Amino acid sequence: WNSWNHYGCNINEHIVRATADALVSSGLSKMGYTYVNIDDCWAELKRDNNDRLVPSRSKFPSGIKALSDYVHSKGLKLGIYSDAGYYTCQKQPGSLGHEQVDADTFAFWGVDYLKYDNCYNDGSKPEARYPKMRDALLRTGRPIFYSLCEWGVDVPATWAPKIGSSWRTTGDIEDKWESVISRADLNDKFAPYARPGGWNDPDMLEVGNGHMTMDEYGSHFSIWALMKAPLLIGCDVTSMNKGTSRILSNQEVIAVNQDHKGIQGRKVSKQGDLEVWAGPLSNNRIAFNSCLVFVWTVNTTAQRSGSKSPREPYSISEGSCLQNSSWSKSDPQMQNLAIRTTSPLPKSSQCPQPLGYDHGLDSTWPLSLLAYEKGTLHST
């Protein structure tokens, strides 16, 4: 969870504590939502006499250390925000030139995650500034997830894997469909660079913030999961409705995101407004976003493109009958936005007879899928 998308600068320790409580009571923490991340606007405008950052006395009167202890007592982890510039984006003290003292402060507080922004910098390349904080964090001896947030300006996917745990590939997301699909498209370009230990980050989730339909939120969550993007909840989890909870807690979709192969799914087909996104999973499975009940595959092999050492390709024999696992079996209204995982059925299983296929996909992912649903054949 991250505070920014819903609260912006209106953040305080009560909200953070209540969020930690809600992540546990809702069951979300057991599904893997374990980070509680404070974004910008948490600090005083001036450092103390020892040049250390000071938590806002009005917003965080108990201090970050006490808050960290509380979050840890819930079995969760605490994240915080700083900037590789002189100021943060909201003009609070940045960490440029103070990397070690700030890293030491974060470690002393018990911080587990650092989002590191790129505002008000000195004009030097992010590739030169971001390693300084990496090195400072490593010297503390505390494991801290290092999230680079330079908005994809200098193509961080090409250099950030040596520096951080994730890197933003896009500008800030907004709670509207156009923003979601544009960030997905931008992030898609860098799929070959994502892998376990280093992830492309198309920004935080907007699910539940109220300006998109539930279908759009379902698609948003599905595509982020397929892309192996960090799933950072961005809504008020203390008052989320059932639809929001159902999306964020869908264990099948979360499992796609957390699959141990860690290969980012990609846009494999676009015909007009119809897009198909797909990616390989462990155990010879495929995940894709489509309304499919039965899938036939013909000549299905795929591997990462643009890599000097391609990952292990995945394949399913020609003519195999695949059975999908629905995004939500009880939500037929969301079926056109569904995320599906497929796995081979036993040879004895009954499958609909395919009438043909239309591969219609690019050379990167040469999949040919034919679907049968409610008596109608669909090819994608």
Predicted model pTM: 0.81
Residues 227-249, mean pLDDT to the nearest whole number? 98
Give the mean pLDDT of 332-356: 41
- Does residue 144 contact residue 137 with C-beta atoms inside 8 Å? yes
Sheet holding 113-117, edge to edge: 35-37, 77-83, 113-117, 145-148, 166-168, 199-201
- What was the pLDDT predicted at 298? 26
Q: How high is the pLDDT of residue 341?
A: 55
The residue with tokens 């989002």 is 115
DSSP 2: B
Nearest to 202 by CA among 252, 261, 277: 277
**Looking at this protein, which amino acid is placed at residue 361?**
L
pLDDT of 40-67, one tens digit each? 999 999 999 999 999 999 999 999 999 9
Amino acid identity at 280: P
Contact assessment for residue 356 and residue 370, using Cβ atoms and an 8 Å cutoff? yes
Tens of pLDDT along 151-205?
A: 999 999 999 999 999 999 999 999 999 999 999 999 999 999 999 999 999 999 9
**How far is the C-alpha of 376 from the C-alpha of 354, rounded, in Å?**
11
Is it the case that residue 311 has pLDDT exceeding 50?
A: no
pLDDT of residue 339: 56
User: pLDDT band at 358, cuts 50/70/90?
Assistant: very low
Q: Do 129 and 99 contact (CB within 8 A), yes or no?
A: no
Is residue 215 pLDDT above 70, yes or no?
Answer: yes
Query: Which of 146-152's residues contact partners 24+ apart within 8 Å by CB, and which partners?
Result: 146/114, 146/116, 147/113, 147/114, 147/115, 147/116, 147/201, 147/230, 148/116, 149/115, 149/116, 149/117, 149/118, 149/201, 150/84, 150/117, 150/118, 150/126, 151/118, 152/186
Query: Known catalytic residues?
Result: 117, 172
What is the distance between the alpha carbons of residues 137 and 155, in angstroms, rounded to a whole number? 23
CA Rg, the chain, in Å? Answer: 22
Residue 162 CB contacts under 8 Å (≥ 6 apart), including other chains: none
Average pLDDT across the chain, whole number: 81
Cα→Cα distances 121→83, 124, 126, 154, Å: 8, 7, 9, 14
In this predicted model, which residue has the larger pLDDT, 363 or 77? Answer: 77
The answer to whether residues 207 and 221 touch, using CB atoms and an 8 Å cutoff, is yes
State mean pLDDT over 103-125: 99
| Cα torsion 252, 339, 351, 282: sign | negative
Q: Stretch 70-79: mean pLDDT, rounded?
A: 99
Which of the given ranges, 139-143, 290-294, 295-299, has the highest pLDDT on average?
Answer: 139-143
Percentage with pLDDT > 70 across the chain: 76
As a whole number, mean pLDDT of residues 292-311 equals: 30
- The Cα 264–Cα 153 span in angstroms is 21
Confidence of residue 272 (pLDDT cuts 50, 70, 90): confident
